[in-house]
Structure 1
Amino acid sequence: MDTIYNLKFLTLLTRFSVCFLGCSLIYYTYRYWIRGERYTKDAESPDKVAIVTGASKGIGKEVAYGLAKRGLHVIMACYDMKSGLQTQDEIIKKTGNTNVKCMHLDLSSFKSIRSFADEFLNSGSRLDILINNANVFHMKRRLTENHIEKNIAINYFGHFLLTLLLIKRMSQTVPTRVINVTNWVHRCVEIDPTDLLNQRQFCGFMAYARSTLANVFFTLALTERIENTGITCNCIHPGISLTSVIDRQSSESTWFQPKLLAKFLSNILCKSDRACADTIIFAAIDISVQNLSGIYLSDCQIGQPGANVNNRNIAEWLWKKSEEITGETLCDLPNNFKFLKKIIKSFDELMHGRERDKTTAILQKNLNTHVESYTAVAVAAVTGEKEKQRTAHFYQVHQRSARSNMNTSKLSGVLNFARKWIQGGQFYSNVRIDGKVVIVTGCNTGIGRETVLDLAGRGAHIHMACRDYKRCEITRQEIIAKTGNHNVFNRELDLSSMDSIRKFVAKFLQEEKRLDILINNAGVMAMPKALTKDGFEMQLGVNHLGHFLLTNLLLDILKSSAPSRIIVLSSLAHKYGEINRNDLNSEKSYNKYNAYSQSKLSNILFTQELAKRLKGTGVTVNCVHPGIVKTDLGRHLVHSYIKKLIDPFTYYFFKTAKSGAQTSIRLAVDPELDKVTGQYFADCRMQKVAASARKNNNDAEWLWQASEKMTRLSSHTHPV
């Protein structure tokens, strides 16, 4: 009997084990399938700025984490600031990326959306990626302060308004991307023009589904309107994830009760938030979709929307109705394609021999890649005649965008090459200058800021000499936070005032016993006529006379600290300048461009003359052309409306402030330049100055004597 019972027990155990193993295999196979395609690539350009709405939890939180982990600057736009700040701190701790910021945004309030947009735009930050992720799923009918049903107000109208308010900024740093998060349930409904706001009858599921369909229509309508601007717009189905929905519904509906059981079932049957976030991250940063617009993505692949997106009339009606409800219209965006065709011609003339062949090969490769992408879309669209007809509108929009992007794709290689080329020489050495005392003038923004940031990272002891004490203090704190170097000091210096210069020097000499590096960085450019406090023309006064006096007052401490260095920032504009001996101070006539060029030529002549006078002292002096850099220096150069026109193209054809600082940094720290003096540098290399700075040495001596008289230098100290 015992043997029989043992056999029965073993049989039951075997059956149970087989059943358990079979169920486990089915479960893990299902989990692998439901998880979908994972995205693990790093970002091509980690310095980009992304806004993610609804990023305090759920999919939005995982998107923010995924982007921060890849080095992007992430703005978390959250309704619940307490939860958002906790998530922000958690992401910073996990990724080590401190460029994560939480800002308040209530998508149910048009006032809050406009306030968020104003705050972001006033910050001056660029915007490369806008991810309209936030969504709600309310089973009960609720109204916003604008008297709109909450599902469609938050999921659609809020993002519609936000996108229109920010898209102008996005057009300034193309290529940029708008990503609208939708859901597969958009297939289950139609847009009812007679009841868009769900006023006559309400069903929570249907209201949510209509809001997701509205996002697909929004993507298609926006795609048509932003052709040739360098901005793309795509919609995403991230997958089915109920975790955040359960949290919202547990307090207002018995449908999700009990909460723990619902969460347990969702963990078994649905995607994780991290898996859902992968398709959004793919659409945000992957290079393969950079030039694709108006497409529907799911599981990191191009998918098909529902047949109900065919109706072009509904898409146009919805756009106009949305403009009416939100009170916002799409601004005029620059058509970058016409401009870029001229660019490719000019770069074609610049490239010769192997470099030209190499660039052509890159363009051809990009072109072939996009041909394959568009072919894949076409194959997916014609899986059957009936299916082709159902999706005709969606792919017609995509193909029209594709044709436009095919033309621009062959330009993207040239533009990327142009941007790298325009950045010029870079200084990659890790040489340290621990303990060396440095003065940098005009360093609260732009090239000066980047110079201080780099030198602080090398251990220097830095005095930031700035006119605006408050702005300088903000920059100083940022630099200390980034470098961990607390030997960075904020000192007030107004180069348009001789009295301020003398006070600065007196205070410095009380505080320090040595000076190793003086960087005369501050400057003004092409400004309307104005006079300094001492009655000098502003550009001559700040760019030349101010630094002339400052340098001479510091010469004794520089000599006693030898070997030491002086770096003077000039400009390529010196080649257009001439020293006007009859009207150096522009009292008889004034042209802002001539005055600027004269001041930059003065910088070079000052450098040459000072190098002669300092020969044998161990103090070197050289001047720098930083390049054409996108900074605040050129704010007076052109009218504001022209500046707005050229702003989108400065990304490709202007240096960054960091690149502009490279030559100054090399001259300040490179041991190879210890004994190089009286030279002119650009792109980290020694260059020839213009003929006007070479042919007449009498100008340099005459300018020195004139500068001594104007600054009353001889009455305060013995000049060299």
Structure 2
Amino acid sequence: MSSKWTADQIPDQSGRLAVVTGANSGLGLITAKELGRSGAHVVLACRDTAKGEAAAREIRGAAPQATIEVAALDLGSLASVRDFAERFTGEHDRLDLLVNNAGVMAPPRRTTADGFELQLGTNHLGHFALTGLLIEQLRAQDGARVVTLSSGAHRFGAIDFDDLQRERSYNRWRAYGQSKLANLMFAFELDRRLRAAGSGLLSVAAHPGYAATHLQSAAAPTVDRVIMKATNALFAQSAEMGALPTLYAATAPSVAGGDFIGPDGFAEQRGHPEVVRGNAASRDEAVAARLWSVSEELTGVAYPLPATASVR
């Protein structure tokens, strides 16, 4: 892999259909823009469709050849996830790329429409359900991929099955770390199950390093927003650079199922995309299998794929 891979090296995406969650701003918007610029038809799956339409206009202004549509998707509501999947499968006969990008970071404790802790429910369970509901369309396409965004924060996360929803003890950063570890474990476990099923669908993970986006200030308390604004200005790389690992994971021909793509710089905080390694916890297959089983139970979405490890 070139250490200086950029969006200019994205292969022609003509004929591919991509769904990018949370595509109205930040990394999702840049990801959708570059995919559209490269020829893909991109569905902007957004909770706020007015913001999604504004993003679509921005993309068309930057890339007039891009074909873009906007669809409502609230990952904090399983009903919305099911509605999106039903509409999508009714309107489209293929899906080549699903980018599980949307997320929330370190808010005060809140719950989703289904009563899940907001970060676990949105970042992990919503995407788990969405991928499961779209997986047959993905599996039907040669070269299809699922890209799930994790974070360096997975390294301080832990899957606490005794208090998964953080009802007894809530620390917003530990809850964020748990959700990002869950994202990475999901990507790896999905890869294992796809391989066991003999499927050519690729499951790949990515993380942006430290990129300056609205995520740091979207839900944080006021003091944190001020601090993060300062650290963004001093230390963060641009959102355009932060989107490169996702774009590489989504399009580079050399990517393999189970790869984890992140920046190549110091501590994976900035730089150009390369294959990186998750921590030991992210590779625990027994915990991943248990998390998968719990996720199926909580979401009501069962995957037509074989289990690969004993649930403990």
TM-score of the aligned structures, taking structure 1 as reference length: 0.39
Deviations 1:412-435 (A, max 9, x none): xxxxxxxxxxxx964441521112
Q: Which blocks of at least 5 consecutive residues in structure 2 are unaligned?
A: 264-272, 307-312
Structure ranking higher on relative contact order (CA contacts 8 Å, 6+ apart): 2
Following the alignment from structure 1 to structure 2, what is the Cα–Cα distance between the partners of residues 718 and 527? 34
Indicate whether 1:689 and 2:278 are aligned.
Answer: yes
In 1, are the aligned partners of 2:39 and 2:66 still within 8 Å (CA)?
Answer: no
CA-CA distance at 1:636 after TM superposition: 5.7
Following the alignment from structure 1 to structure 2, what is the Cα–Cα distance between the partners of residues 708 and 639? 33
Q: Tell me the secondary structure at the aligned position of residue 612 of structure 1.
A: helix
Deviations 1:638-660 (A, max 9, x none): 54345435635523411211111
Following the alignment from structure 2 to structure 1, what is the Cα–Cα distance between the partners of residues 110 and 239? 26
Deviations 1:101-129 (A, max 9, x none): xxxxxxxxxxxxxxxxxxxxxxxxxxxxx
Q: Tell me the secondary structure at the aligned position of residue 216 of structure 2.
A: helix
Aligned residue among 456, 461, 472 for 2:36 = 456
Q: How does 1:45-64 map to 2 (within 5 A)?
A: none
Aligned residue among 211, 217, 223 for 1:635 = 217
**Structure 2 counterpart of 1:712, one-letter code:** G
Aligned residue among 30, 39, 54 for 1:474 = 54
* Aligned residue in 2 for 1:47: none
* Aligned residue in 2 for 1:73: none
Q: How does 1:3-42 map to 2 (within 5 A)?
A: none
Q: How does 1:38-117 map to 2 (within 5 A)?
A: none
Indicate whether 1:572 and 2:147 are aligned.
Answer: no
Indicate whether 1:705 and 2:296 are aligned.
Answer: no
* Aligned residue in 1 for 2:134: 554
Following the alignment from structure 2 to structure 1, what is the Cα–Cα distance between the partners of residues 160 and 59? 41
Q: Which blocks of at least 5 consecutive residues in structure 1 are unaligned?
A: 1-423
Relative distance call for 1:584 and 1:571 in structure 2 (3 A) is same
In 2, are the aligned partners of 1:451 and 1:661 still within 8 Å (CA)?
Answer: yes
Q: Tell me the secondary structure at the aligned position of residue 212 of structure 2.
A: coil
* Aligned residue in 2 for 1:619: 201
Following the alignment from structure 1 to structure 2, what is the Cα–Cα distance between the partners of residues 637 and 536? 17
Deviations 1:19-48 (A, max 9, x none): xxxxxxxxxxxxxxxxxxxxxxxxxxxxxx
* Aligned residue in 1 for 2:124: 544
CA-CA distance at 1:537 after TM superposition: 0.4
Q: Tell me the secondary structure at the aligned position of residue 254 of structure 2.
A: helix
Relative distance call for 1:467 and 1:646 in structure 2 (3 A) is closer
CA-CA distance at 1:589 after TM superposition: 1.6
Deviations 1:195-234 (A, max 9, x none): xxxxxxxxxxxxxxxxxxxxxxxxxxxxxxxxxxxxxxxx
Q: How does 1:176-195 map to 2 (within 5 A)?
A: none
Indicate whether 1:443 and 2:23 are aligned.
Answer: yes
Indicate whether 1:593 and 2:173 are aligned.
Answer: yes
Following the alignment from structure 2 to structure 1, what is the Cα–Cα distance between the partners of residues 61 and 300? 41
CA-CA distance at 1:606 after TM superposition: 0.6
CA-CA distance at 1:613 after TM superposition: 0.8
In 1, are the aligned partners of 2:217 and 2:228 still within 8 Å (CA)?
Answer: no
Relative distance call for 1:437 and 1:597 in structure 2 (3 A) is same
Following the alignment from structure 2 to structure 1, what is the Cα–Cα distance between the partners of residues 183 and 224? 29
How many residue pairs align between the two structures?
A: 293
Indicate whether 1:650 and 2:238 are aligned.
Answer: no
In 2, are the aligned partners of 1:497 and 1:534 still within 8 Å (CA)?
Answer: yes
**Structure 2 counterpart of 1:448, one-letter code:** G
Aligned residue among 89, 100, 107 for 1:527 = 107
Relative distance call for 1:672 and 1:590 in structure 2 (3 A) is same
Aligned residue among 244, 247, 254 for 1:665 = 247
Relative distance call for 1:425 and 1:525 in structure 2 (3 A) is farther
Relative distance call for 1:719 and 1:432 in structure 2 (3 A) is same
Following the alignment from structure 1 to structure 2, what is the Cα–Cα distance between the partners of residues 642 and 574? 20
Following the alignment from structure 1 to structure 2, what is the Cα–Cα distance between the partners of residues 431 and 599? 31
| Aligned-pair identity (%) | 37
In 1, are the aligned partners of 2:107 and 2:220 still within 8 Å (CA)?
Answer: no
CA-CA distance at 1:509 after TM superposition: 0.6
Following the alignment from structure 2 to structure 1, what is the Cα–Cα distance between the partners of residues 121 and 227? 31
* Aligned residue in 1 for 2:257: 677
**Structure 2 counterpart of 1:540, one-letter code:** L
In 2, are the aligned partners of 1:562 and 1:617 still within 8 Å (CA)?
Answer: no
In 1, are the aligned partners of 2:194 and 2:305 still within 8 Å (CA)?
Answer: no
TM-score of the aligned structures, taking structure 2 as reference length: 0.89
**Structure 2 counterpart of 1:633, one-letter code:** L
In 1, are the aligned partners of 2:7 and 2:34 still within 8 Å (CA)?
Answer: no
Deviations 1:506-541 (A, max 9, x none): 111111111111000000000111111111000000
Q: Tell me the secondary structure at the aligned position of residue 688 of structure 1.
A: coil
Q: Tell me the secondary structure at the aligned position of residue 240 of structure 2.
A: helix
Relative distance call for 1:626 and 1:700 in structure 2 (3 A) is same
Q: Tell me the secondary structure at the aligned position of residue 162 of structure 2.
A: coil
More helix per residue: 1
Following the alignment from structure 2 to structure 1, what is the Cα–Cα distance between the partners of residues 25 and 11? 24
Relative distance call for 1:637 and 1:482 in structure 2 (3 A) is closer
Indicate whether 1:602 and 2:182 are aligned.
Answer: yes
In 2, are the aligned partners of 1:528 and 1:636 still within 8 Å (CA)?
Answer: no
Deviations 1:169-216 (A, max 9, x none): xxxxxxxxxxxxxxxxxxxxxxxxxxxxxxxxxxxxxxxxxxxxxxxx
**Structure 1 counterpart of 2:300, one-letter code:** R
Following the alignment from structure 1 to structure 2, what is the Cα–Cα distance between the partners of residues 699 and 430? 35
Aligned residue among 490, 506, 516 for 2:86 = 506
**For the aligned residues, what is the CA RMSD?**
1.9
